[in-house]
Amino acid sequence: MKIQSVIDLEKITQEHSGNLYHPDSVKVNIGMASCGIAAGAQAAFETATQAFAESKAVAIGQTGCIGYCEMEPLVEIFSGGTPRVIYKNITPDKILDAINDYQNGIDQKKWILGQMRDPRSLLEDDIDNPLAKVAPFEAIPFLEDIPFYKNQVKIALRNCGYIDPDCIEEYIAKKGYFALIQALNHSEPGKILETVKTSGLRGRGGGGFPTGIKWATCAKHDGDRYIICNADEGDPGAYMDRSILEGDPHSVLEGMLLAGYAIGSSQGYIYVRNEYPLAVKRLVTAIKQAETYGLIGDNIAGTDFSFNVKISTGAGAFVCGESTALMASLEGNVGRPRAKYVHTVEKGFREGPTNLNNVETYANVPAIVLKGAEWFAGMGTDHSKGTKVFSLVGKIKNTGLVEVPMGISLKEIAFNIGGGVPKKKKFKAIQTGGPSGGCIPERFMDLPVDYQKLAEVGSIMGSGGMIAMDQDTCMVDVARYFMDFLKEESCGQCNPCREGIKQVLDILTSICAGNGKEGDIELLEELGSMIQKFSLCGLGTSAPNPVLTTILYFRDEYEAHIRDKKCPSGVCKALFHYEIDAEACTGCRVCARKCPQDAITGEKKKVHDLNQDLCIKCGICYDVCKFNAIAIR
Amino acid sequence: MITFKLNGKTVQGDEGQYILQVAEKYGIDIPTMCHHKALEPAGMCRLCTVELFDGRRSRFVTACNYPIWEGMEITTDSEAVHQGRKLIVELLLARCPDVPMLKKLAKEYGIEEPRFKTEDDDCILCGLCVRMCERMGSSAISLTGRGVEMKVDTPYHLQSDVCMACGACASVCPTGHITLEKINDVITRRQGVGPIPSEYDMGLKGRKPVYVPYAQAVPNTPAIDRDVCVHFKTGGCKVCTEFCGVDAIDHTMQDEIVELEVGSIILAPGFEPFDPSKFDTYNYANHPNVVTSMEMERVLSASGPTEGHLVRPSDHKEPKKIAWFQCVGSRDLNRCDNSYCSSVCCMYAIKEAVIAKEHAGDDLECTIFYMDMRTHGKDFERFYDKAKEIGVRFVRSRVHTINPVAGADDLAVRYVTESGELQDETFDQIVLSVGLQTNPETVTLAEKLGIELTKGNFCKTETFEPVETSQKGIYVCGAFQGPKDIPQSVIDASAAAASAGAALSSARNTRTQEPEVVPETNVFGERPRIGVFVCRCGINIAGVVDVPAVRDYAATLPYVEYFSDNLYSCAQDTQETMTQIIKQKNLNRVVVAACTPKTHEPLFQETLINAGLNKYLFEMCNIRNHDSWVHKNNPDLATEKAKDLVRMAVSKVALMQPLEEAELQVNQTAMVIGGGIAGMSAAATLAQQGYETHIVEKSDALGGQALNLYKTVAGDDIQAKLSGLIADVNQNDNIQVHLNTELKNVEGFVGSFKSTLAVDSSENELEHGVAVVATGGSALKPQEYHYGEDPRILTSLELDRKFMDKDPSLKELNSAVFIQCVGSRDQDRPYCSRVCCTHSIDNALELKKINPEMNVYILYRDIRTYGEREYIYREAREKGIIFVRYSLENKPVVDLSNENITISITDHVLGRPLEIVTDLVTLASAVIPNKDEALANFFKVPLNDDGFFVEKHAKLGPSEFATDGVFLCGLAHYPKPIDESVVQGRAAASRAVTLLARETINTSGTIAETVPMNCSSCAVCISVCPYSAPSFIEEGPFTGKAQINPVLCKGCGLCVASCRSGAIKLKGFDNDQIFAQIFAMNEAM
């Protein structure tokens, strides 16, 4: 069936909303994004499918990532007219027990993350909540009330974790493709451009360029225009785009279709990392399904608008996330950036005007078109509208994927949503913007999440990686780590980036090894400043950020390394040693037992002794001591 | 037009231009490293980063690829920009600390040592090579790897087939990371692909598709080689057009066919060296250390691929043992078709061996393997003797095979010595002395022209018409006429010009184009502005003297306004450059520090004239012959000496004044002294050209030595031909023959000689403009082998007489012996008489013809049947004539004690004594010169140790004297056969005509002048002057004081030195000028 109008979409919605809201039987949705699969969801899924192959009482389904990756595999179980119950850490051996538990009246409260009364997405505001009036389960918290979810607003992630990503009908049932069909049938392209412009949506890939302006400029230039989706997510610790592609691929396709319509392009490319096999698989399925319904292809919904989407997989070069490098790679050339003195919206892919946005940006678009620019612009700050997805990782309790309105403070994200630093350690800094972002110290934690504000403290929004650091993180080592990453990932074309980063890394390595000397900090600053100004592409110009921000905010740590030859955080092995704090030591022997070198001796209940000659500074004693009796000196 | 601000100044550029292009137009320098005019900018090195203010904020962009736009503001040298660039240079220096271009750049930015950890790379990853290769259409290399792993590489690190070894990458590499040599090393392993071999350097060096064949090529403009030019292959590239500032390159040009209407044609197509590749046993094609003599020439040349440094090809090691193999492609019917002798190879091999020893030092072992050593040219035998003295080893053996030595690059040979022993020897390198042969294209040309060729594919000519082809009006000269050396080719050339011109003499001066005369600048009263040009002479000077140091030293001298150094100052392009510089810099004095003024002063004076300067405002100092050549082992002192010489020249030239030259009429009459073949040929040629000619012959008949000769090697009856020639001379209205006449005296100088001719007792005066010396030679009367004691012992000429007389006794002979080198190639006469080998073999064959049963022996040292004369040597052996070799130490002994003549000799093959009983002994006696010292004095021309006249230049001026207006030909020059005498007679006439045809000549400006005020009228000047230039003034205020006739004065300076009153000065060598030079030298002490 080729969809021609909203009526067709509504027909599908009706047919499939049951799957989402009123299953005839017990519905078990297993979180099957990469994070879930990594935790064992695939095996759990197979076990469950096998067990209930013949049964009509239990239906097994899959969803994308619901965000709380710490608790994966997450399994959602519900039946007609009851709130959804989300079981956590459901490894394959527990899946049948969990289903059993649900069917038998929910005894294992400890297994349950929470229940959910409101599965509607933002796009479904106008639909009655089918579960609003049903009675909740007793003694099970509502997901909406737990801190992790409480302050999140999901636009880009609106369907992630709620629908089966391999099922276009479920996407449609969640108001998917309504924006596209309405636009094709009722709006001129110019109106779409205007909507996106007014919404204040900015590029979520990191640069934050106003999306509407980009689209409009691209539309102005003649030639074969191209729509490219940048799904080459390369920042270590960032997986927002992957989750969207795995959990809700159609939202990205619809965003691209809208962009194609608005800009006047009929050719779309998705450049996705080959390391995201599941995302690629789901995209392929999604494109096929959309083609079946005539949502991708020629004369979409009977209009003049035609649009095709091709997937191209990248070989995993970080620099290919840079737009010109990505286009070069897409053309079959070596993925190296070029100077953007002539913008890609004028001359990009195959010399044609090219609009490139990342996954999250496109995923936002259908919602904006459907709900209006004002709705979107109503969220966030003056300069940054809407929401932003972050992947929260590092020294933080609740690692996972969160989507928060712009303007929310870093503290809110790190402490309320993220749950703060575990193990009573002291929070030190938060790193945003990926490897070329900056480290923001604790004193700026009230800073609202906003493109400008982050830039003011020397960092960037980036694509949404957020790494928390505690007292055990050495900032010099962090800078060294990121520089090491960038040294590998620099394309090597321009001298400031290639040679500069190499030398910066060399200096940092020598500082970490205890060979730092006076003047090193100034030399790093001099190099950093030049690399920022003189590099060819964004990779180079932002590469010194980790070094420059750590010097700016943690200069004392650098000085301690260089002058005192000490690593205060106990990371740089050449610059510290462990000692047993005689006052705190209870003589429990835990450390002595765990020490792989037998370097700790001492009788029970007597202060232990650490033989420095044998110690290899592996840090096991430090980690296992419950009394903080291992001191870093 | 786009208007914007550049460093605060409003500038304009075209739409689409980049900042760098506009900055260049406005003379603002922005440093670049990865930029190349012909390539798309890449913005990789970031050195050209500038600051851009766009109205709101400042940012940094690269000038090479940032397109200009209206209203932008660019600052190219802000502090931030400078600091950034400096840091980039510092980073690169850390990467490549030994790259000269970076070291220089670092110095400019004040960087002493990089503050960073250094590496030892030499590639700065500018990517120029990659972009150039792409532009070439090959894309054989690429920047591979990421980040610090990036490098220039080929796919899979393997040499790819798309590389055409064009070397474009190397040509743009700023650091020397890629060199043609490296490409060469990799590429030569692949068949069919390699750098374009330089024809001039015998393929030992690559050349570019756009090239000048060699440094001094005329015309000195580059050409595009269509066969290898990337544009003509692929339609792309055209990089050259980006660089040509005057749009001179037109890829659409087509070959043009030009039709000329001419009265005569001279063929001078030359030869091609024999290609020894087909001699598989010599391994020339397979082994790099087997080279041809032509390749060796280039290696030994200062302008060659190794700049004269002697190294062998395989490993660039200096060889310690080199062998030359003679007769490769000559005198050989088994392995090639060239049975003739190539005439030049023996001599050039010796020359190469001697030069090789000069270059590499005395411990270099040079061995020449030969069959007969043929050093029959003038002074060649002496050179051969000298080579033996300095240790060049000569082995008479023809080696069959060259075997590569396994595991080394050396070469093993096995040969049989003269004493019959088998020898094995290993050499580092072997030179094949390849012969001369006619190019197949020339053969085709000859067919087209309908010209007959000899069986050796040379142009067929007659003995008495040696430059005429079988087609009327078509003449030949050089190696196409027969294999020959430079002097003989030059002689041929003059003769061919004369013959070709004879028919056209009536049209003389009808198509003359007057050269544009540059008006002479008046420099009187001007402050000296001196230009100093220091010549490197390839490595002749620069190899010893630190030329840049001398040049820079010249800059410090007073009045020096311009200084530079040239690779070859005498090259045509350098001359043009010098002319431009003199004009541009308004120079009024010029010093050239180079070689000898004897050969090169006129050339540089011509340059001054072209620049509008009087040619006497010039001084040359000889830092080659007087310095680099003689102080080879002391380069530091040589450099100091060069500085001293330059300083002296500069101090002298500052005082130089413009001098005037007097113009003289050239008397249009010629005098030829000697009525032999050469003299008559010269006279006939002069007469044909329309000049009145007098032959002065002291005997009572024309004909000279030819009167004694029977027939030529080609079988011509000499007497018949000679009578024809004599008749022609006698009948020619333009020729007056003075028989029985002696030259008593000669006065005057070029253009106006006055000779006194004595017939019997009466004397006549003959006024003439030129003189040709053709006084001939004669046969030695032998003092050995019992000559004169027995009528059966004759000289060759006496045997010829018997043939002419058809002596019946010849028929009766059972046995005849010829003894060669009688009086030649010995201590008294260390020269080869050139003609005797051929003459004896020819006569021996004649005897065999008369009586085939006769036993004929030829006792010889080396058979020297050069050129196609070799055929009769072969014929003689085929006909059973027995050749027995003897050595100078072991001459044959003639015994007359019995009835019979018995000759004892050691047989060179059997190694045993041999006795020959014979009826006739013919002594091939030497050709001896007349040693006419009186004549030499008349014309002030020199004689050599043997008594032959010394020509102006052994190679380039063989038929003229250093004295202007006097020319040379025939046996007076050196022994030679009839054809060569005819040719040289014509050549001498030809050279004379170049002078006669000018009608006027200029005298020198460096002449003496009196200051009558100081003259004491002592008349010493008048008595000492050999030219009768001084005389007393006969009227006016200075009556009785001396004056000098500027036309007669030769500037010898005798009068100047003799004048006790100091009343005479020599212009150009005035006291103040000479003293300035001496005082300047004093500084050195």
Question: What average pLDDT does the segment A222-248 reach?
Answer: 93
By the CB < 8 Å criterion, does A374 face chain B?
Answer: no
CA distance B749 to B961: 13
Which of A341, A488, A493 lies nearest to residue B61, judging by beta carbons?
A341
Query: Of B162 and A475, which is predicted with more confidence?
Result: A475
Q: Is the peptide bond before A73 cis (omega within 30 degrees of 0)?
A: yes
Quickly list H helices, B1000-1059: 1020-1024, 1054-1058
- Is B65 in Cβ contact with A499 (below 8 Å)? no
- Listed by number, the residues of chain A in 178-197 with a beta carbon closer than 8 Å to a beta carbon of chain B are none
**Smallest CA–CA distance from B44 into chain A, residue:** A494
- Is pLDDT at B971 greater than 60 in this prediction? yes
Give the whole-angstrom CA distance, residue A613 versus residue B537. 73
Instruction: Supply the mean pLDDT for chain A.
Output: 92
- Chain B contact for A110, CB < 8 A? no
- Residues in chain B with CB shorter than 8 Å from the CB of A494 are 43-46
Q: Which fold has domain A577-632?
A: Alpha-Beta Plaits (3.30.70)
pLDDT surpassing 80 at residue A131: no
Mean pLDDT of the B634-660 span = 95
**By the CB < 8 Å criterion, does A325 face chain B?**
no
Q: Do B84 and A530 touch (CB under 8 A)?
A: yes
> Do B88 and A534 lie within an 8 Å CB cutoff?
yes
CATH number of A18-148: 3.40.30.10
Chain A CA closest to residue B118? A503
To the nearest whole Å, the CA of A339 is away from the closest chain B CA by: 7
Tokens of A306: 């035609």
**How many CA within 13 A on the CB side of residue A226?**
22
For CA atoms B543, B548, B553, B554, give the dihedral sign: positive
Closest by CA to A524, choosing from A537, A505, A540, A541, is A505
Of A317, A496, A502, the CB nearest to B88: A496
DSSP β-ladder status, B1008-1010 and B1064-1066: antiparallel
Whether residues B84 and A506 touch (CB distance < 8 A) is answered with no
Which of B906, B843, B848, B839 shows the shortest CA–CA distance to B878?
A: B848
Contacts 24+ apart (CB under 8 A), B699-703: B699/B675, B699/B739, B699/B740, B700/B739, B700/B740, B701/B675, B701/B739, B702/B675, B702/B676, B702/B726, B702/B729, B702/B730, B702/B737, B702/B739, B703/B675, B703/B676, B703/B677
Residue B598 is predicted with a pLDDT of 83
pLDDT tier for residue A196 given thresholds of 50, 70 and 90: very high
Contacts of B94 in chain A (CB under 8 A): 499, 503
Identify the closest residue of chain B to A530 by CA–CA distance.
B84
CB contact under 8 A, A530 and B83: yes
State residue B191's pLDDT score. 52
Within 8 A of A504 by CB-CB distance, chain B residues are: none
Contact of B149 with chain A, judged by CB distance below 8 Å, is answered with yes
Cα–Cα nearest to B429, from B324, B357, B307, B273: B324
Write the DSSP string, A476-492: HHHHHHHHHHHHHHS-S
The domain spans of chain A are: 18-148, 177-376, 387-470, 475-564, 577-632
Cis previous bond, B219, omega within 30: yes
Of A339, A492, A500, the CB nearest to B150: A492
Strands B560-566 and B770-773: unpaired
pLDDT value at B190 more than 60: no
Q: Is B135 helix (H, G, I), strand (E, B) or coil?
A: helix
Q: What percent of chain B has pLDDT over 90?
A: 76
Q: CB–CB of A495 and B116 under 8 A? A: no
Residues of chain A with Cβ-Cβ distance to B127 below 8 Å are 493
What is the reported pLDDT for A238?
87
Burial class (CB in 10 A: 0-12, 13-18, 19+), B577: middle
Residue B469 structure tokens: 């082809």
What span, in angstroms and rounded, lies between the C-alpha atoms of B115 and B118?
Answer: 9
Residues in chain A closer than 8 A to B62 (CB atoms) = 339, 536
Cα distance between residue B278 and residue B288, in whole Å: 15
**Residue whose tokens read 């391999």:** A166
In 3D, which of A444, A437, A522 has the Cα closest to residue A478?
Answer: A437
Phi, psi of A602 (to 5 degrees): 145, 145
State the Cα–Cα distance between residues B873 and B847, nearest whole angstrom.
Answer: 15
Closest chain B residue by Cα to residue A531: B84
Chain B environment of A485 (Cβ under 8 Å): none
Q: Do A503 and B65 touch (CB under 8 A)?
A: no
> Is the distance from CB of B819 to CB of B799 less than 8 angstroms?
no
- Closest C-alpha to B675, from B736, B751, B719, B747: B736
Residue in B45, B79, B81, B116 to test binding to A, most A beta-carbons within 10 Å: B116
Q: What is the pLDDT of residues A468-496, one digit of tens each?
A: 999 999 999 999 999 999 999 999 999 99
Q: pLDDT at position B662, please?
A: 85
Q: A interface mutation test: which of B33, B46, B86 has the most A CBs within 10 A?
A: B46
Which residue in chain A has the smallest CA separation from B151?
Answer: A492
A560: nearest Cα among A633, A630, A611, A619: A633
> CA–CA separation, B834 vs B838, rounded Å?
8
Query: How many Cβ atoms sit within 10 Å of the Cβ of residue B1036?
Result: 8
Q: From the CB of residue B30, how many other CB atoms can be counted at a distance below 10 Å?
A: 21
Question: Beta-carbon neighbour count of residue B587 at 10 Å?
Answer: 23
Q: Please indicate if any CB of chain B lies within 8 Å of the CB of A334.
A: yes
Interatomic CA distance for residues B728 and A558, integer angstroms: 110
pLDDT of A559 above 60: yes
Mean pLDDT over all residues of chain B? 92
pLDDT at B811 over 60: yes
Q: How many beta carbons lie within 10 A of that of residue A269, not counting itself?
A: 22
Distance from CA of A489 to the nearest CA of B (A): 6
Averaged over B979-984, what is the pLDDT?
A: 97
Which of A61-75, A114-128, A143-157, B822-836 has the least mean pLDDT?
Answer: A114-128
> Quick one: CA torsion of B471, B475, B480, B483, rounded to 10 degrees?
120
Least confident range from A21-25, A252-256, B84-88: namely: A21-25
Over the stretch B62-98, which tens digit does the pLDDT of each residue have? 999 999 999 999 999 999 999 999 999 999 999 999 9
Q: A492–B91: do the CB atoms touch at under 8 Å?
A: no
B44 three-state secondary structure: coil
Strand pairing class (B692-696; B735-738) = parallel
Dihedral over alpha carbons B157, B159, B160, B165 (to 10 degrees): 140
Question: What is the predicted pLDDT for the residue at B194?
Answer: 65
Note the helical H segments in B390-476. Answer: 440-449
A-B contacts (CB, under 8 Å): 101
pLDDT digits (tens, 9 = 90+) for B246-298: 788 999 999 999 999 999 999 999 999 999 998 989 999 999 999 999 999 99
Rounded Cα–Cα distance for residues A327 and A353 (Å): 12
Write out chain B residues lying below 8 Å of A321, CB-based. Answer: none
**B97/A contact by beta carbon, under 8 A:** no
**Of A67-76, B179-188, B289-298, B1004-1013, the least confident:** B179-188
Q: How confident is the model at residue B690 (pLDDT cuts 50, 70, 90)?
A: very high
Residue at token pair 């091939």: B924
Question: Can you state the angle between helices A178-186 and A249-263, rounded to 10 degrees?
Answer: 20
Q: Are strands A84-87 and A112-116 parallel, antiparallel or unpaired?
A: antiparallel
User: Pick from B613, B551, B600, B604: which is nearest to B575 by CA?
Assistant: B604
Identify the H or E element spanning A600.
strand A600-601
- Distance (Å, whole) CA B921 – CA B785: 9
Domain spanning A177-376, CATH class: alpha beta
Q: pLDDT per residue over B327-380, tens digit each? A: 999 999 888 889 999 999 999 999 999 999 988 988 999 999 999 999 999 999
Whether the predicted pLDDT of B189 surpasses 90: no
Fold of domain A387-470: Ubiquitin-like (UB roll) (3.10.20)
Tokens (6 digits) for B480:
């196409």
Q: Do B148 and A491 touch (CB under 8 A)?
A: no
How far apart are the C-alpha atoms of B135 and B152, rounded to whole Å?
A: 16
Residue A228: what are its φ and ψ, rounded to 5°?
A: -120, 135
Neighbours of A540 (CB within 10 A): 29
User: How does residue B193 score in pLDDT terms, banded at 50, 70 and 90?
Assistant: low
By C-alpha distance, which of A350, A332, A357, A127 is closest to A251? A357
Kindly state the percentage of chain A with pLDDT values over 90. Answer: 73
The rounded distance, in Å, linking the Cα atoms of A528 and A540 is: 10
Q: Do B46 and A334 lie within an 8 Å CB cutoff? A: no
Q: Are strands A387-394 and A400-405 parallel, antiparallel or unpaired?
A: antiparallel
Q: Which fold has domain A475-564?
A: de novo design (two linked rop proteins) (1.20.1440)
Q: Is B142 on the interface with A (CB under 8 A)?
A: yes
Contact A222, A376 (CB under 8 A): no
**H or E, element range at A121:** none
Domain A18-148 matches domain A577-632 at the CATH topology level: no
Picking from B81, B91, B144 by the largest number of A CB atoms within 10 A of its own CB, the best residue to mutate is B91
Q: What's the token pair of residue A213?
A: 């302006």
Q: What pLDDT band is residue B962 in, cutting at 50, 70 and 90?
A: confident
Identify the bridge partners of residue B426 per DSSP, sorted by sequence position: B412
Give mean pLDDT, residues B470-489.
96
Q: Are A407 and A449 in contact (CB under 8 A)?
A: yes
- With contacts defined as CB-CB under 8 Å, which chain A residues touch B67? 341-342
Q: Do A499 and B95 make contact, defined as CB atoms within 8 angstroms?
A: yes
